[in-house]
Amino acid sequence: MKIWAVANQKGGVGKTTTSISLSGLASSRQHKTLLVDLDPHGSMTSYMGYDPDTLKEGVYQLFQRAANQEPFLISSLIKKTQFEYLDILPASTALATLDRQLGTQNGMGLVLSRALLSVQDIYEHVFIDCPPMLGILMINALAACDDLLMPVQTEFLALKGLDRMLDTLTMLNKTRRRPLNYTILPTMFDRRTRSSIESLRAIHQNYPREKLSNTVIPIDTKFREASRQGKPISVYNASSKGAVSYSVLFDDLTKAVSV
Ligand SMILES: Nc1ncnc2c1ncn2[C@@H]1O[C@H](COP(=O)(O)OP(=O)(O)O)[C@@H](O)[C@H]1O
Ligand SMILES: [Mg+2]
């Protein structure tokens, strides 16, 4: 089982889209895949057909039970999606209160990591969609994952969010045995605009080459259409440029795993 966290301390950069696109590809290749929605907005949960406002079982209950030291099975909180090979551990809007409730309680940083251990023989890939703020949920994601994907929107000011995320990573790496590997993924690239071209150039100039994805995700209106239909882009329109670029990315990322 390989666990990916998809994170950036900025909203609207393509985190949820990246999590769903990659998990859609993995599951359509018959790799058993789990999505974990850690964002209290629950956009990924709604995308997959569940209502984060009324959800009774999900990530929130996982943390509650861990805090109360109640025995539980993570598999009882996992739900099926309409796609074969793709399951989800959904988010409810109640998650927004988690930091206030449990943020100061010791031992809450490894809840997700421990819970995922019990499903490690079931899933080949796990994609964790992170909230845009640093708190107990993001800490859990970064502690649980083997690798971090950082989508960065190719527009002015995008690098600020990226720097903030890299500072967070530096801080967290102090408590890890080995530094967490990460990949910067430029998203929503529009070659007709100066802001896209210049920010992509700035990303290349400012960050280590080996940390940059070879694939750049283009801007593609098909993403919005796919999300309206609740389908990963590769299912909605496999030949769209967005789907093709995530497919190249998926091959790159999974190739790196098997070496
Ligand atoms: N490559 C892209 N091209 C066009 N629209 C995109 C692309 N990636 C994401 N979007 C759209 O941008 C919005 C924000 O993306 P989302 O993945 O929800 O960001 P985040 O999870 O980082 O907040 C969504 O409406 C999504 O459909
Ligand atoms: Mg999101």
User: With 90 as the cut, is the pLDDT of residue 73 above it?
Assistant: no
Which pLDDT belongs to residue 259? 45
CB environment 96-128: b (16+ within 10 A), e (fewer) = bebbeebeeeeebbebbeebbeebeeebbbbbb
Is residue 32 helix, strand or coil?
coil
Ligand 1 in contact with 161 (CB < 6 A)?
no
* Ligand 1 in reach of 225 Cβ (< 6 A): no
pLDDT in tens, 15-29: 999 999 999 999 999
DSSP run (H or E) holding 92: none
Rounded mean pLDDT, 72-80: 92
Please tell me the predicted confidence (pLDDT) of residue 102.
86
Query: Which one-letter amino acid corresponds to residue 118?
Result: S
**Do 6 and 15 touch, CB atoms closer than 8 A?**
yes
Q: Is 42 in the pocket of ligand 1 (CB under 6 A)?
A: no
Is the CB of residue 134 below 6 angstroms from any atom belonging to ligand 1?
no
Residue 142: closest CA among 180, 86, 116, 104: 180
Check: CB of residue 189 under 8 Å from CB of residue 222. Answer: no
User: What mean pLDDT do residues 242-249 have?
Assistant: 98
Asked if the model's pLDDT at residue 258 lies above 60, the reply is no
Identify the pLDDT of residue 103: 73
Q: Give the ligand 1 atom nearest the CA of 219.
A: 3
* Ligand 2 (single-atom ion) residues, CB below 5 Å: 15-16, 43
Q: What is the dihedral of CA 58, 1, 238, 248, to 10 degrees?
A: 130
Whether this prediction's pTM lies above 0.95 is answered by yes
The model's confidence at residue 176, banded by pLDDT at 50, 70 and 90, is confident
Angle, helices 158-173/136-144, rounded to nearest 10 degrees: 70
Spatial CA neighbour of 132 closest among 256, 16, 216, 252? 16
pLDDT of residue 1: 97
**Residue 39 alpha carbon to ligand 2 centre in Å:** 7
**Helices 158-173 & 194-206 angle (0-180, nearest 10):** 30
Ordered by where they begin, the domains of the chain are: 2-252 (3.40.50.300)
Mind listing the pLDDT tens digit for each residue in 111-155? 999 999 999 999 999 999 999 999 999 999 999 999 999 999 999
Which residue puts its alpha carbon closest to atom 16 of ligand 1? Answer: 14
Are the C-beta atoms of 188 and 227 separated by less than 8 Å?
no
Q: Whose CA is nearest to atom 25 of ligand 1?
A: 224
- Average pLDDT, stretch 92-107? 88
Distance 98 CA to ligand 2 centre (A): 18
**What type of residue sits at position 24?**
G
CA of 244 to the centre of ligand 1 (A): 16
Which residue lies with its CA nearest to atom 6 of ligand 1?
Answer: 223
